[in-house]
Amino acid sequence: MKTSILNFFTAFFLLTSFSFSQNQHTEFGVWKLMQQQDGIEIYGKHALCLIEYAPNDYHFLSVKIINTNSDKKEVSFYIKSFYKEGESGHRDENLTVVTLAPNEILEGDCMDKDATLTRMIANPKFENSWHYIKSEIIFESIK
């Protein structure tokens, strides 16, 4: 019983500390506009996702892209994440290219197996995990 209560309070503390440390662009479970340009809107949403065979949930950033134009667009972007210890997500590491039909919406979630629209940010239970600060969407091109 004591272990269950301790695990509950540990999980609550981790979730609370992550929630309060997030950049105002994103919160857990809420889509927030992170970038917009030339009729393309990109939203971000933080989530805790279970990875198959992993012992705990991981902190992910999912992306939703909306083409508000009346013509097809090819969008190139990358996600850059900032931590107290440094940054990750340089262009060469994770450039993503998607094609959207007119008025199409693409949305990432925990089931996004190829990591096109969802990126792992941190493992909250890993003792030496970097301390997440924020993420940014960087547009490469819109054609």
Our count of domains for the chain comes to 1
Q: What are phi and psi of 129, to 5 degrees?
A: -65, 145
| pLDDT tens-digit map of 72-108 | 999 999 888 888 887 777 677 788 899 999 999 999 8
pLDDT < 70 regions, the chain: 1-27, 90, 113-114
**What is the span of the domain harbouring residue 126?**
2-142
Estimate to the nearest angstrom the gap between the alpha carbon of 1 and the chain centroid.
Answer: 35
C-alpha to C-alpha distance for 32 and 9, rounded to whole angstroms:
28
pLDDT at position 98: 93
pLDDT at position 113: 62
pLDDT at position 18: 38
Estimate to the nearest angstrom the gap between the alpha carbon of 141 and the chain centroid.
Answer: 20
pLDDT at position 27: 63
pLDDT at position 23: 40
